[in-house]
Amino acid sequence: MGKNRDLIQILALVIIGMFIPFLGSITITYGLDLTNVNNLLKIGSTFGYFLLIFAIELVIVFLYFTITNKIAGKKMDKHKPK
């Protein structure tokens, strides 16, 4: 259970680390006021979409490596001397 907790803490730290520069760049680029609740909702939803697209990309990369690893393993098994 400790390993999962550490992983969750690291992922939370990475997400926070991604959000801070994202928040700054969105604020500077579009001149959003951080004290306005509507602007905070826009920033939050934009970051949510960013995380969703990033997660889809990570799943595709994970599937690619998993599939190519299985194919390579089968090819290696064919060439192993018995």
DSSP-based three-state secondary structure for 8: helix
At 34-75, the pLDDT tens digits run 888 998 898 889 899 998 998 899 899 889 999 999 998 888
Global pTM value = 0.68
| CB-based contact 39:33 (threshold 8 Å) | yes
Q: What is the dihedral of CA 48, 24, 41, 39, to 10 degrees?
A: -150
- pLDDT, residue 79, reads 81
Residue 72 neighbours by CB under 8 Å, 6+ apart: none
Classify burial at 37, counting beta carbons within 10 Å of its beta carbon; exposed 0-12, middle 13-18, buried 19 or more. Answer: exposed
